[in-house]
Each structure stands twice: as structure tokens, then as C-alpha cells.
Amino acid sequence: MILVTGANGFLGSALVHYLGAEKLEPVVAAVRRGGRSWPAKVEERLVADLDGLTDWASALKSVKTIVHCAARVHVMKDDAQDPLVEFRRVNLDGTLNLARQAAATGVKRFIFISSIKVNGEWTEEGQKFSSQDDPNPQDDYGLSKHEAELGLKEICSDTGMEFVILRPPLIYGVGVKGNFATMVNVVKRGVPLPLGSCNNCRSLVSVANLVDLIHVCVTHKSAANQSFLVSDGEDVSTADLLSMISSALDKPRRLFPLPLKFLKLGAVVLGRQDIAQRLLGNMQVDISITREMLSWAPRFSVAEGIKNATLKG
């Protein structure tokens, strides 16, 4: 039996429906609020908010594999008094509490959905992040995920439970929120954007490709006690991404070129260097190890993923 935490979330929900449709073995959807419609072989189990005190006893009955999607996610405007404390409460304490209880009840494999932010925020031109790089988290969210990875490895070393760590970049798909949803809404409104000269390279992953890889990691022997990066296998510029969204929505491409130095200067003046980095900077990942060790390749191209996300979203 496979337990998926955060089953009401964007990734968790997509994964539960994917695994349920595969009909390989029963799936447990761990949720805080019940009542959703699930595939036939999916059992819904209620759990409290994720932190270091959550009682997972009822949710863990007969479970042999966990896919831990639940998390406090990165947000652009965090209103928490101390964001790091809150990230650690959920992403660190909550993860390790679940891992300890899982090991004690005989769970064999714990798949942890981490983040590429463990590697860092950006890459130099022509370089890519690798799963073998030294971690270099730059914000509170990335730090909490890195600390959770370290704690999970220690628990697994002490108990014999296997871990699998996946570090995705931006995940997009039907129902996603955040930066990708903002881009789609801007294109729908026909807002002209000064990003026509933005020739950066960024990796991203469609939720369809990610859940497919998670499915592989549930049983693949070579996945045990390894960390993997994941992406759609092709990198795109912000300008190309917006063009693909425009094409998928059958909207005109409203991009005009403005020198990057002016865009970066404007970001500094407005105090939004973080947004400028995401729009203008490079962030590429190398998935060659993932491909080779797991005999896996992305099933959908970026264009296919964007078309699916925008037409159904």
C-alpha cells in the first residue's frame, strides 16, 4: 500500500489519481479535509496539520511506501513573523516525525519531494545543477528542505528504511498556482511584456512527467537511498515559455525587446530583484543520472505540457 501525503495539494492530488489509475496496488490519500472524489482503489485517511507532533498511526496502517508531498511551500510574500521557524516546523519537524513513525511501523521506502532550491537559486551560463553538487540553499524554504533531507538520511541509516529524494524545479500543470499561473493570466489578458530579449535558460517540469518519475521510484531497485533531479529534459527561455503559452491559448505573442540592463535596473529600483532573477536568470538541471540509473525519460515535452496545462486550466 502506498501513502501519499498532501493528497489535496496540486502535486499530491495528481499523483493519487495517477497511481489510482495504474491499479497496481491500493493507495492511501492522506488529507486534512475529506470528501474528495478518488479513483476506486484509493482510500482517504484524515490527518492533522503537518508538524513534529502529528499522529500518523491510523494513516500508516498496512503502508509499505510513502510519497511525502505535503509541505509548507515557498511563497513570494510570506506574512509569518519568522518564516524560517514556520518552514522548519512543517518541512523539517513534520517530515522527520513522519519518517520516524514510518520506520517504526515497517515502511520500506520513503520518497521525499524536496526542491531544486536545495542546490541553489541560479546557475552560471552553460552550467547545470547536478544531484552530486554540494547543497547551497539560499532561502528559508530551501534550507528547511535541505535539513529535512539530512535528517531523513540519518533516520534511514539508523532504521534500514530506504529513502528516495527528488528535487524538482518549477512544477506546472492543470490547477497550478504561483508564477506559472501568473504568466498564463498575463497572456490571457493580452498584457504586453518587455521580455522579448530574454534568452536565458531555465528548467521546469510538468506534473505529468514528475508523477511518472515518482511512479518509477516506488519500485525501482536503483532508486533506493539516492537523490535525483528531474525536469522535462529541455530548457527554455522566459521569452520562449511565454510564446508557448500564447500559442497554446491561441493568443497573440505580445513581447517586445527591452535591454536586460534596463530590466535589471528597474527591478533594483522597485526592490524586486527576486522576481528579476526568476524571469531573467538561468536555472538549469542535469537529469542524466536520473535517466541512466532509472532508465527513465520525460514522456512529455515542454510544449506538450504547456498545451495540456493551459487548455485544461
Q: Which residue has the cell 510564446?
A: 243
Provide DSSP, 111-163: EEE--GGGT-S---TT--B-TTSPP---SHHHHHHHHHHHHHHHHHHHH--EE
Contact between 215 and 180 under an 8 Å Cβ cutoff? The reply is no
Q: Is 172 a catalytic residue?
A: no
In the chain, the amino acid numbered 150 is L
Amino acid at 160: G
Distance CA 151, CA 95 (A): 9
DSSP string, 84-105: HHHHIIIIIIIHHHHHHHHHHT
Of the residues 10, 141, 163, 172, only one is catalytic, namely 141
Instruction: Catalogue the active-site residues.
Output: 141
